[in-house]
Amino acid sequence: MKPRVYITRPVGSEAINILAARCDVTCREQDLPLPPAELAEALREMDGLMIAGARLPAEVVAQASRLRAVSSVGVGYDNLDLAALTARRIPVTNLVGVVEETTADLAFALLLAAARRLPECDRYVREGQWRFWQWTLLWGADVFGKTLGLYGFGNIGQAVARRARGFNMRILYCSRRPAAEAIEQALGAQRVDRDTLFGESDFVSIHVALNPETRHSVGAAELARMKPSAYLINTARGPVVDEEALAEALQRHAIAGAGLDVFEQEPHVHPTLLGLPNVVLAPHVGSGTAETRARMARVAAQNLLDLLDGKRPRTLLNPEVFETASGG
Ligand code: 8YV
């Protein structure tokens, strides 16, 4: 009997066809949130899951008695209870080398948009306020030659650094482990401690994964350390930032502005942020381009197929399970 697999979003025919070659595929047609109870129901007879834009909590894992492979369509995996999956010996893959460049594009777009006040400029023109040229009109901040602080220096942080090189920026980074010397040299990046990063940067861009250690690790203290002329960019995960503290800092101009693609309780956005002109807001679209989404779906489908075939994909999140399962 063919393995049965479930896809949580309408990811397109290319990915479905990859899986359909050897599996019975059920792909949810609605591009809408999937409550855990509904996911549990959908997984009752499923061997494999390709999960995008949904949570997989422990109670759903416990109910999915046939489940033996999970492919996550994203790089961050804080939506999955990896411990529960590992306890059930279910191998899980994520995407590596797929969403990084396009997410870095969005981080840089938010940085530029915040610095040059693009949403305000756009509103000004559309609303018919532009009646004559003015010397003092909508001044922003220079980006070129400024200091960029990368909080987290994995694949996405490094991709942002590559873009910043073209703007002749000084690049600082903060991460648990130092990057290889060759990478530091190629990117002209200098590892500093957190205080230096927040204190010296004109733009701080967040690129850490969300985990208990990083949750609220950008709070009132870090924001207070930032220059009043500095900007905070977040394309990583909302809960890394204490949103209340950020809203408060922006409101009293303790920092100059922010560019945010992620929020603490998506799709809820702190009401203060919604009313502030010095914040650029986006609805978690870091990987949202036609090319990248197609590639994400293809790679995730192939990962799931590999898992179901007993192959070991490169991007296994819990290799210990795979080794135990395959006796390797
Ligand atoms: C995905 C993301 O769209 O890769 C990530 O971590 O945040 C996004 O690219 C999201 O995970 C939905 O699956």
Q: What is the CA radius of gyration of the chain?
A: 22
Give the model's pLDDT for residue 287.
98
**Shared domain check, 232 and 149:** yes
**Shared domain check, 53 and 16:** yes
**Shared domain check, 200 and 251:** yes
**Shared domain check, 267 and 147:** yes
Q: Which candidate in 266, 268, 320, 323 is catalytic?
A: 266
Q: Is the CB of 34 under 6 A from ligand 1?
A: no
pLDDT band with cut points at 50, 70 and 90 for residue 324: low
Domain containing 17 — which CATH number? 3.40.50.720
Distance (Å, rounded) from C-alpha 326 to C-alpha 83? 19
**Shared domain check, 68 and 182:** no
**Shared domain check, 140 and 231:** yes
pLDDT (tens digit, 9 = 90+) per residue, 158-187? 999 999 999 999 999 999 999 999 999 999
Give the model's pLDDT for residue 79.
97
Distance (Å, rounded) from C-alpha 286 to C-alpha 104? 8
Residue 35 in this model has a pLDDT that exceeds 70: yes
pLDDT (tens digit, 9 = 90+) per residue, 179-236? 999 999 999 999 999 999 999 999 999 999 999 999 999 999 999 999 999 999 999 9
Total tally of structural domains belonging to the chain: 2
| Residue of 287, 289, 292, 296 with the most ligand 1 atoms within 8 Å of its CB, for mutation | 287
Q: Specify the pairing of strand 92-93 against strand 69-72.
A: parallel
Q: Is the CB of 257 under 6 A from ligand 1?
A: no
- Residues in CB range of 125: below 8 A, 6 or more apart: none
How is residue 57 written in tokens?
A: 């909590």
Distance (Å, rounded) from C-alpha 296 to C-alpha 102? 11
pLDDT (tens digit, 9 = 90+) per residue, 135-162? 999 999 999 999 999 999 999 999 999 9
Q: Which candidate in 194, 216, 284, 312 is catalytic?
A: 284
> Ligand 1 centroid to 203 CA: how many Å?
23
Tally Cβ neighbours within 10 Å of residue 322.
22
**Shared domain check, 14 and 145:** no
Give the model's pLDDT for residue 323.
73
Give the number of the atom of ligand 1 that is nearest the alpha carbon of residue 95: 4
Give the model's pLDDT for residue 6.
98
Residue 328 in this model has a pLDDT that exceeds 50: no
Is 295 an annotated catalytic residue? no
pLDDT band with cut points at 50, 70 and 90 for residue 280: very high
Residue 292 in this model has a pLDDT that exceeds 90: yes
**Shared domain check, 89 and 106:** no
User: CA dihedral in degrees (171, 172, 175, 179; nearest 10)?
Assistant: 50
pLDDT (tens digit, 9 = 90+) per residue, 74-130? 999 999 999 999 999 999 999 999 999 999 999 999 999 999 999 999 999 999 999
Q: Mean pLDDT across the chain, nearest whole number? A: 97
Distance (Å, rounded) from C-alpha 67 to C-alpha 48? 6
What values do phi and psi take at 234, rounded to 5?
Answer: -135, 110
3-state class (DSSP) for residue 93: strand
> Ligand 1 centroid to 74 CA: how many Å?
4
**Shared domain check, 119 and 67:** no
> Ligand 1 centroid to 42 CA: how many Å?
21
Residue 326 in this model has a pLDDT that exceeds 90: no
Share of the chain above pLDDT 90, in %: 98
β-sheet bridge partners, residue 27: 7
**Shared domain check, 170 and 207:** yes
pLDDT (tens digit, 9 = 90+) per residue, 45-78? 999 999 999 999 999 999 999 999 999 999 999 9
Residue nearest to atom 6 of ligand 1 (CA): 76
Mean pLDDT of 2-27: 98
Residue with token string 């059930």? 88
**Shared domain check, 223 and 155:** yes
Distance (Å, rounded) from C-alpha 223 to C-alpha 230? 10
Instruction: State how far the alpha carbon of 115 is from the alpha carbons of 104, 108, 143, 160, 301, in Å.
Output: 16, 10, 7, 16, 39
**Shared domain check, 223 and 85:** no
What is the residue range of 54's domain? 4-98+290-326
Query: Please, how many CA atoms are within 13 Å of residue 126, restricted to the half-sphere of its CB?
Result: 6
